[in-house]
Homo-oligomer: A and B are copies of this chain.
Amino acid sequence: MRTTIRDIALQTGLSVSTVSLVLNHKQHRISEESCDRVFKAAKELNYRPNQAAVSLITKRTNTLGLIIPDITNVFFAEIAKGAQARCQELGNSLILCNTNDNPEKDVDYVNVLLDRGVDGILLVTSVSAGKSSAERCLEILGRSEKPAVLVDREINVGANSASFPGVFSDNEHGGYLATKHLLSLGHSKIGCITGPMGAQSSKHRLFGHIRALQEAGLAFEPSLVREGSYHTESGFRLSGELIDMGVTAIFACNDMMAYGVCRQAAARGIVIPKQLSVVGFDDLPFSEFFEAPLTSVKQPAYDMGVCAVDKIAGIIAFPQEPWESTKFRPQLIIRKSTLAPGV
Contacts and interface: CB of A to CB of B under 8 A. Distances in A.
A94 B118 CA distance: 13
Nearest to A285: B72
Contacts of A97: 84, 88
A18 interface: no
- Dominant secondary structure of chain A at its interface with chain B: helix
A261 B195 CA distance: 31
Contact of A260 (B98, B285, B289): B289
Interface string A74-97: 100110110011001000011111
Interface stretch (A53-61, A185-193, A221-229, A319-327): A53-61
A132 interface: no
A263 B289 contact: yes
Nearest to A78: B72
A53 B50 contact: no
A310 to B, nearest CB: 17
Given A53-B56, A74-B72, A74-B74, A96 B98 contact: no
A326 to B, nearest CB: 22
A51 interface: yes
A6 interface: no
A112 interface: yes
A331 interface: no
Contacts of A263: 289
Contact of A81 (B48, B52, B71, B74): B71
A52 B56 contact: yes
Interface residues of A, number: 45
A121 B259 CA distance: 36
A263 B113 CA distance: 43
Interface string A42-73: 00000011111101100001010010001110
Contact of A117 (B50, B115, B289, B291): B50
A116 interface: yes
A266 interface: yes
Contacts of A114: 48
Contacts of A61: 52
Contacts of A81: 70-72, 98
A61 B93 CA distance: 14
Interface string A124-164: 00000000000000000000000000000000000000000
A275 interface: no
Nearest to A93: B95
Interface in A277-328: 285-286, 289, 291
19 contacts: A48-B114, A48-B115, A50-B117, A51-B115, A51-B116, A52-B55, A52-B61, A53-B56, A72-B77, A74-B74, A80-B96, A84-B97, A85-B98, A88-B112, A93-B116, A94-B95, A232-B289, A260-B289, A286-B286
